């Protein structure tokens, strides 16, 4: 069950997460709660799979190298393969698409050699080939979503 604080955290801190040495304390102060309350709420949201990570999204190829990757995975294995992909810190996010290539993810690494080694490791661990889709044109898509909660 989502509390009022859960809802506020989901709506207000998708894009405006404080960039400071004490971001959770900053959030707590703005909400009138303790830092421990904020940390507990974020942990609850993660445990219930409302959030998968808290971290920055880096513009492609500005720091290190990045690529978009697609895999064709049988539907019955999609979640288990997505779980494998998600374990790698180099994976920014992954998502399902309605296509033969149904599992897509964005990766970033310090250099191309390391990026290729992680992709090869994912292929070996998952048993599926990865198709890399290099960035040809840069488009910004706002990944924030206003959450409409019915009470």
**For the chain, what are the domain ranges?**
4-47, 65-133
Per-residue confidence in pLDDT tens, the chain, 151 aa: 889 999 999 988 887 889 999 999 999 999 999 999 999 999 999 999 888 778 776 666 667 888 999 999 999 999 999 999 999 999 988 899 999 999 999 898 999 999 999 999 999 999 999 999 977 776 666 666 666 666 5
Does the pTM surpass 0.75? The reply is no
Q: What is the pLDDT of residue 72?
A: 98
Q: What is the pLDDT of residue 20?
A: 93
Residues 6+ apart with CB under 8 A from 69: 104, 105, 106, 107, 119, 130, 131, 132, 133
Q: What is the pLDDT of residue 143?
A: 61
Q: What is the pLDDT of residue 68?
A: 92
Tokens 């290190």 locate to 64
DSSP helix/strand/coil, 119: helix
Candidate CATH numbers 3.30.70.3460, 1.10.10.10, 1.20.120.80, 3.40.50.150; the one for domain 65-133: 3.30.70.3460
**DSSP code at position 90:** T
User: β-pairing, 91-96 with 131-133?
Assistant: unpaired
End-to-end CA, the chain = 11
Q: Give the residue among 126, 71, 65, 124 at the shortest CA–CA distance from 90.
A: 65
């Amino acid at each position: 069950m989502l509390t009022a604080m859960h809802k506020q955290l989901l709506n207000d801190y998708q894009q405006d997460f404080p960039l400071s040495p004490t971001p959770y304390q900053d959030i707590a102060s703005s909400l009138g709660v303790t830092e421990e309350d904020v940390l507990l709420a974020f942990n609850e949201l993660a445990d219930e799979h409302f959030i998968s990570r808290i971290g920055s999204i880096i513009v492609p190829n500005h720091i290190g190298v990045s690529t978009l990757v697609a895999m064709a995975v049988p539907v019955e294995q999609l979640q288990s393969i997505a779980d494998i992909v998600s374990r790698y810190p180099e994976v920014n996010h992954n998502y399902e698409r309605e296509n033969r290539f149904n599992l897509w993810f964005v990766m970033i690494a310090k250099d191309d050699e390391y990026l290729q080694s992680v992709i090869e490791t994912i292929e070996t661990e998952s048993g599926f080939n990865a198709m890399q889709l290099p960035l040809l044109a840069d488009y910004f898509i706002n990944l924030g979503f206003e959450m409409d909660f019915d009470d």
